[in-house]
Amino acid sequence: MNKKYKFLIVASTFYPKITNGLLSGAITEIEKHKFKYDVFKVNGSLEIPVQISILLKKKKYDAVIAVGCIIKGKTDHYEFIANAITKSLLSISIDKRIPVSNTVLTCTTLKQAYDRSSKKINRAKEAVLAALSVLNN
């Protein structure tokens, strides 16, 4: 892994305790490898793919990490949002030919989200490693 990659991280601020934990995990992993990165924040998870698309038109990145959280409520809204984000991120990844790792947590409870954004288990750290596995093939 001698190559120097530049990562784009786009994070929602809707659940700040959760997304800050994820963001910290992603940044720690990226810095561990001595890669460069930019962080941009948006209000909600649905805005993440749009922000990524805009930023990829302006600047070159080797990989993208999408950070957010959606908690299931009493309606189906959660599933529509999660599906739209997942499809959009995959489409961006294929169109731009770069890894876009999806760390928009989809949980049924806040406890699940906290567990997946902690120092012990951090899905954003795993997302960085997933992107690297694609970049290093």
Q: Taking a C-beta distance cutoff of 8 angstroms, is the pair 7, 31 a contact?
A: no
Question: Of 65, 129, 52, whose CA–CA distance to 100 is shortest?
Answer: 65
* From 77, 83, 91, 95, active-site residue: 77
Q: Is 77 a catalytic residue?
A: yes
How many Cα atoms within 13 Å fall on the side-chain side of residue 109?
3
Where helices occur in the chain by DSSP H, the ranges are 16-32, 48-58, 77-96, 110-116, 123-135
What phi and psi, each to the nearest 5 degrees, are found at residue 80? -65, -45
Residues found in the chain: 137
Which residues are known catalytic residues?
77
